[in-house]
A and B are shown apart, each in its own frame.
Chain A
Amino acid sequence: MPGSCEAAITLTGDLHARPAGSLAVAAAKFQSAVELVAGASTVDAKSVLAVMGLGATRGQRITVRAAGPDAQEAVTAMIGILAEATPVGG
């Protein structure tokens, strides 16, 4: 059953290339469309280059949006990676 889901997190570190890769690999495994919103930019979470192009930094609010059959799981996974990949002081 298709659905949509959204959650937000404040980054405690910069969104570097490695976490961007983890996000894109994880996002690609979901059927749902997954987007990251940072400020005025919205990007496809499945595109590592687009995620890196966000240039998201510590303190910035990132919203994760997903639409599709596994939207809830996708958002939970993305938030988990964003929280883990950007530790305090990192």
Chain B
Amino acid sequence: MYNAPMITVRLPQKQKELEIPGPRRVMDLLAEAGMRPTTVIVTQGRKLLTKDHRVEDGATIDVISVVSGG
């Protein structure tokens, strides 16, 4: 059976990876992943993505938490 390509959302600090059907805006992907925009940056390779950026199927993005404790 053919598997349609999806967007791969990697959460490196949680060592977690999600597959979400696209295309979707970054802010929608964050909502799906349960992450708030003011706590992360989103990257695709060496590119930083704005929250309204549209991500296509087949793409891989990284969601990096920026919250430091202590």
Q: Do A and B assemble together?
A: no
- B contact set with A: CB distance below 8 Å: none
- A contact set with B: CB distance below 8 Å: none
